[in-house]
Structure 1
Amino acid sequence: MGEPKLSRMKDKRWSLDGMTALVTGGTRGIGHAIVEELAEFGASIHVCSRKEEDINRCLEEWKNKGFNVTGSVCDVLHRHQRQTLMETVSSIFQGKLNILVNNAGIDISKQIIDNTADDISTVMATNFESAFHLTQLAHPLLKESGSGNIVFISSITGVKAIPLLSAYSASKGAMNQFTKNVALEWARDNIRANAVAPGPIWTPLLESVMVCFKI
């Protein structure tokens, strides 16, 4: 087991000991890395994923590292599953949540003219509507914690046009604007909101995009 990150630091000002976090899509790619970073700083974390086998694999891995992580199945595309997820989180963390990371997302890479109504609905519901709804559901838990933080995992495509990613880009652009509204309206509840817009990072999602580009 590696040395805990905090033990290598000169002070404890970055400690997340006692903090709770929910990371959607936390078993792969960026989400997986976020979980490990939060756990290394002492946070207790709940993750969700569409696949139970992914959750079980990661929970075993994190247990061996000494991380305090729980998980449950949730396809954020579906409203009722999002509601069940937040009920689970509320129960595990006794009605308080310090950190919400809206990370789960999908992409359908097509020319604009080839996107179907189902394509657009699926991308917007998974990437943007789910983040909007989970943020709504998390509000009382974040407020109750006394120090709430929301992180939206956006993308550079939300501010820059890239071929074949029109629906994905639109969902991330909407997320960027929503982040501003959340930060404005919920500052009085001591809840902060920030969007992170990564460029290309080699994850399973990016790999699918590269296949479409034949790179």
Structure 2
Amino acid sequence: MSKPDVKCRRLEGKVALVTAATAGIGLATAERLAQEGASVYICSRKQSNVDETVASLRSRGLQADGCACHVGSAEQRKQLVEACVRRYGGLDILVSNAAVNPGAGPLADTPPHVIDKILDINIKSAVLLVQEALPHLQKRPGASIVFISSVTAFNPPAPIAMYAISKTALLGLTKGLAAELGPQGIRVNCVAPGIVPTKFSAALVETPELAAQQAESTLLKRLGRPEEQAAAVAYLVSPDAAYVTGETLVVSGGMQSRL
């Protein structure tokens, strides 16, 4: 299916920082925000991937730049935010998309180092990135934060339950930050994608049989696409969602999504 023809320009004059944005949902999100008029700053762990993605976005007339960043590094998080603000003069939108899934298997058998890695990158780094960006977001009217969670957050499945539990934490982080930052006019929301064939869902769709089983679990009887998640993010950071905060928007084709 072809990509959507984006004609709306809801984000003119805005600056968006999107982490882990050289592939999958992160890349689709960066592209969509840029198509809607935002100046987009991206990151990934490898500079070569950033350079390639920036060149691709610019070749289509989109405003994009970026740098390498390991979100688990305090120094690199600081450098990321500073580079974005230095390049574009401010920051209006933060999309926290970076995550890891270093192991799959039963929760009861998950090694401590796998638990530590998941919690460090998927939760701790998300909080600390917000702390780094907040002084700049506070200067911009209508600033917005979006976390990328997962529909698996609502019912963590084997064999990626530990990863899914870290995504459950993002639902609470969204609520907590929304309550704190709402009086400052900063909105905080979350997108919970369904099963989208990316590296993070590889264990769930690694065979045609598994992919078909996952598609059957949706009401629409198909897997999701990165562009559909990006459209949800674009809505949440746009003026159209000016009265929406503390919410998790599930984009899963109708999969079960209740805690």
Q: How far, CA to CA, are the matches of 2:203 and 2:159 in structure 1?
A: 12
Q: How far, CA to CA, are the matches of 2:98 and 2:203 in structure 1?
A: 15
Question: Is 1:31 aligned to 2:30, yes or no?
Answer: no
Question: Is 1:120 aligned to 2:121, yes or no?
Answer: no
Counterpart residue identity of residue 183, structure 1: A
> If the length of structure 1 is used for normalisation, what is the TM-score?
0.89
Q: After superposition, give the CA deviation of every residue in 1:108-158 in whole Å (9 maximum; x if it has no partner).
A: 222112211110111111111111111111111111012110010001111
Q: How far, CA to CA, are the matches of 2:74 and 2:104 in structure 1?
A: 24
Q: How far, CA to CA, are the matches of 1:89 and 1:195 in structure 2?
A: 22
Aligned counterpart, 1:102: 96
Counterpart residue identity of residue 96, structure 2: N
- Does the CA contact (< 8 Å) of 2:95 and 2:146 recur in 1? yes
Counterpart residue identity of residue 76, structure 1: V
- Does the CA contact (< 8 Å) of 2:21 and 2:43 recur in 1? yes
Give the superposition deviation at 1:212: 9.5
SS in 1 for 2:145: strand
Question: Is 1:133 aligned to 2:128, yes or no?
Answer: yes
SS in 2 for 1:21: strand
Superposition CA RMSD, Å? 2.1
Question: Is 1:71 aligned to 2:66, yes or no?
Answer: yes
- Does the CA contact (< 8 Å) of 1:124 and 1:167 recur in 2? no
Question: Is 1:176 aligned to 2:177, yes or no?
Answer: no
Give the superposition deviation at 1:213: 11
Aligned counterpart, 2:6: 5
Q: How far, CA to CA, are the matches of 2:108 and 2:51 in structure 1?
A: 40
Q: Count how many residue pairs are aligned between Structure 1 and Structure 2.
A: 207
Counterpart residue identity of residue 52, structure 1: Q
Give the superposition deviation at 1:204: 2.3
Q: How far, CA to CA, are the matches of 1:208 and 1:46 in structure 2?
A: 30
Q: How far, CA to CA, are the matches of 1:190 and 1:52 in structure 2?
A: 34
Aligned counterpart, 1:58: 53
- Percentage identity across paired residues of the two chains: 33
CA distance change for structure 1 residues 187 and 3 in 2, over 3 Å: closer, same or farther?
Answer: closer
CA distance change for structure 1 residues 18 and 85 in 2, over 3 Å: closer, same or farther?
Answer: same
My pick for the range that moved more, 77-86 or 45-54, is 77-86
CA distance change for structure 1 residues 160 and 85 in 2, over 3 Å: closer, same or farther?
Answer: same
Aligned counterpart, 2:80: 85
Give the superposition deviation at 1:208: 4.7
Give the superposition deviation at 1:209: 4.7
Aligned counterpart, 1:49: 44
- Does the CA contact (< 8 Å) of 1:77 and 1:122 recur in 2? no
- Does the CA contact (< 8 Å) of 2:66 and 2:84 recur in 1? no
